Structure 1
């Protein structure tokens, strides 16, 4: 029902604004506002696919005289879109050769057989995977292994004791939280980070390097992960199980099934490690060899193409990836990036950002800390109800105007708000990892809400601390 209503309401609101007697603002601002509200309504109500909504600017902006087709479509081929494409291809290769699973199992094996240690191991493994592959994929990888551990512990018990149910609950919630947290550590780990990067690059010519982001993102994600571990395992749902020797049996069995590392796995590992190293050393390499002119996008695309052309053994399929494998790429996310950039540019060209800047500047009773706290809380609430990509796409132009109006450093507002959009811990429908673990049957909505509220409070505290202490140092 919600979909049907918003499907009609979106274009209807746009039509009313365009036909409003004497207009609301200037003619250009009215037309851009009309399309922006149409897109926001469809995104919030999920009237159609988020990616389909993101295509609206290609049609509506030229028809309404906002921008030419060529000017609109260039946003869908922004370099940041190709950075994320390269990241998707690398993640696809990791998943195809099962390297991500081997890596995760070895991390879990290291953390031991203590119940709390097992949960911590699964959380670390999930978070590290989520730095490089989607949070959905990292959850899908870890969930069957976790379910096998739970099944082995309870298969001889007709009615599992409360402490076993608590262990299963904390394990499921830990995996979901870690999948959401891990992506914040890298620019390609979660779509909102890349949307932010593209927006800053396009609107303000601000470039954030891959390694530069990690010097902020990794410490933040690490501390938040530790906080999530204590909230879930020690405060909300302690199991008091102690050692679980049989858990190692599941891990060893899974590793045995994978067998020895093959030539394709070794090829993917080499390309992955080389890419990560180049991302980290890009600035230094450009200083030493200016002719290279390396960018994060260039490095990502070299790696992506290498996975299609570097021989890796095998007769029929000698390469790691074939083009048919790309049917599993999340192409819709790339379109969503383009639509968001097109909308942000139109809002800027129409004068909305400048208007917000002037409005905020005229209200001198507002302070940067007050606005930061209010926006973080608002985004944490909204991200439980709508796509974090759509949320960031809509909010960033507004936040840019607010920051300029306050005279505050742009990144000091934009980065914490972007990270807040990935802190969806309370509801199953908020993010795919939450929905996946909820479907396991070990988690109820009230249980997820209980831990999610505490996690959100921890996230608010850490976002403020890191924004005021570490962020000015890294992004000086």
Structure 2
């Protein structure tokens, strides 16, 4: 008889040894690259920062430790190696505070507001209610249903995490899929449409996906406003979503002229206290109304910032305060916030601050003569690199690695060029969806059992090729 506990212990020991090996290899690579060689013009502090940069990047790529743990580690290394001269902790130096400042970055409150709003929408089933309303408006024709699903998913992903959005949309999709013929390829088309819209919709706002927030944090005072980002990012995102929708309809054309969506009506959305779904907790209708009101006011204030001049992070406090005061968000809900994502963003901001403060960005910029190179070729290369890397690791971690390097490389070319390249790379990170594990929406859809790896490969490769073309082309028009 097989001893399962013994087998699990062996598996755990192997996993730990494997992680330790990857950790040590990452350390050795960073040490050999940053510390052993003597680089001309590279100051001692900058070489230490180069070590931290390479070490962090290697850990994120190898996943030796959880991604959020890398953020804690790199901040600790910055404080230990750069916060005090020669480890003189009696010097009363305040330099170490610089590397903790990312924790108080206004962007953190902006992203926290996004998570709070997502939880509020989920608790009151506002997201399901909205999706059902839109879906029935579009009718039963396959191409219209795909349009409706993608539209709702796209819009929600601009303000809610793509993971939560996809999970919610799956509750609508499953009843529809069960009413379709088993051999109808359009089942795959619907799932892929939701994946595409969830991944790409996040491009539209600063809070839509972590790479956007990291880009804004790195650009600092040169970053676009909430509305400014939407003006820049929405056109390529919409164009890409429309193009991929057209491709999905061609690849997975429905064999049925109409799809029965009546079962979707039975999916509960906590209408009010008279709901017939007695096994479902009742939520007063006024709470849903309050969520709609707060959503509307918050988004309106974000969009009209140039007129009333209230800082976007200050507006972000409005939904947090209102929802907690009125009991829509409770203690348990606060625990559900994706703190790991927030910590990962903080790590990226701290990494960028360290690269700039130590002068590593200036040194890297002087090592490459890009004066004679085509600027758009450079950004295109980095765009495809970030897409490639993001397919095998978190796009947030990939952006954390790439953006400081981009800034270091082109910092001498002017603020407009830096902004163009940073925003382009951040947006391209959302085009990575080649594998079932590339993004959480991919994994959620894959768990349905309706898709295989080839389906992701086809649509993912097309997104990886078409996405950068639209993004770089339209952003070039703005710059």
TM-score, normalization: structure 2? Answer: 0.87
Deviations 1:180-208 (A, max 9, x none): 0111111111111111111111xxx2242
Please state how far the C-alpha of 1:212 moved relative to its aligned partner. Answer: 1.4
Deviations 1:34-60 (A, max 9, x none): 111111111111111111110113321
- SS, match of residue 292 in structure 2: helix
Q: Are the counterparts in 2 of residues 109 and 251 from structure 1 also a CA contact under 8 Å?
A: no
Matches within 5 A, 1:363-442: 363-407=370-414, 409-442=417-450
Q: Are the counterparts in 1 of residues 83 and 97 from structure 2 also a CA contact under 8 Å?
A: no
Q: Are the counterparts in 2 of residues 13 and 38 from structure 1 also a CA contact under 8 Å?
A: yes
Long gaps (5+) in structure 2: 1-14, 85-94, 276-283
Q: 2:267 aligns with which of 247, 254, 262?
A: 254
Q: 1:265 aligns with which of 288, 298, 311?
A: 288
The change in CA–CA distance for 1:451 and 1:27 in structure 2 (over 3 A counts) is same
Residue in structure 1 matched with residue 6 of structure 2 by the alignment? none
Residue in structure 2 matched with residue 467 of structure 1 by the alignment? 475
The change in CA–CA distance for 1:256 and 1:266 in structure 2 (over 3 A counts) is closer
Please state how far the C-alpha of 1:66 moved relative to its aligned partner. Answer: 4.6
Alpha-carbon distance between aligned partners in 1 of 2:20 and 2:209, rounded to the nearest angstrom: 29
Q: Are the counterparts in 2 of residues 377 and 460 from structure 1 also a CA contact under 8 Å?
A: yes
Q: 2:256 aligns with which of 236, 241, 246?
A: 241
Residue in structure 1 matched with residue 321 of structure 2 by the alignment? 305
Q: Are the counterparts in 2 of residues 359 and 405 from structure 1 also a CA contact under 8 Å?
A: no
Deviations 1:193-244 (A, max 9, x none): 111111111xxx224211111122222222111111011122x222242222
Alpha-carbon distance between aligned partners in 2 of 1:56 and 1:36, rounded to the nearest angstrom: 11
Alpha-carbon distance between aligned partners in 1 of 2:22 and 2:340, rounded to the nearest angstrom: 20
Count of matched residue pairs: 441
Matches within 5 A, 1:15-414: 15-16=31-32, 20=36, 25-66=42-83, 68-154=95-181, 160-161=182-183, 164=184, 166-201=185-220, 205-234=221-250, 236-244=251-259, 246-247=260-261, 249-254=262-267, 258=271, 262-286=285-309, 294-309=310-325, 311=326, 319-360=327-368, 362-407=369-414, 409-414=417-422
Please state how far the C-alpha of 1:143 moved relative to its aligned partner. Answer: 0.9
Q: Are the counterparts in 2 of residues 29 and 352 from structure 1 also a CA contact under 8 Å?
A: yes
Deviations 1:147-179 (A, max 9, x none): 11011224xxxxx33xx1x11111111111110
- SS, match of residue 430 in structure 1: coil
Deviations 1:408-466 (A, max 9, x none): 62222111111000111211111100111111111111121012212222212211221
Alpha-carbon distance between aligned partners in 2 of 1:106 and 1:113, rounded to the nearest angstrom: 13
Deviations 1:337-383 (A, max 9, x none): 221111111111222211233234x3432111211222222222121
For the aligned residue pairs, the C-alpha RMSD in angstroms reads: 2.1
Long gaps (5+) in structure 1: 155-159, 287-293, 312-318
Q: Are the counterparts in 1 of residues 218 and 352 from structure 2 also a CA contact under 8 Å?
A: yes
Please state how far the C-alpha of 1:22 moved relative to its aligned partner. Answer: 5.3
Deviations 1:371-411 (A, max 9, x none): 12222222221211121111111111221133334456222
Residue in structure 2 matched with residue 314 of structure 1 by the alignment? none
Alpha-carbon distance between aligned partners in 1 of 2:293 and 2:149, rounded to the nearest angstrom: 25
Please state how far the C-alpha of 1:137 moved relative to its aligned partner. Answer: 0.3
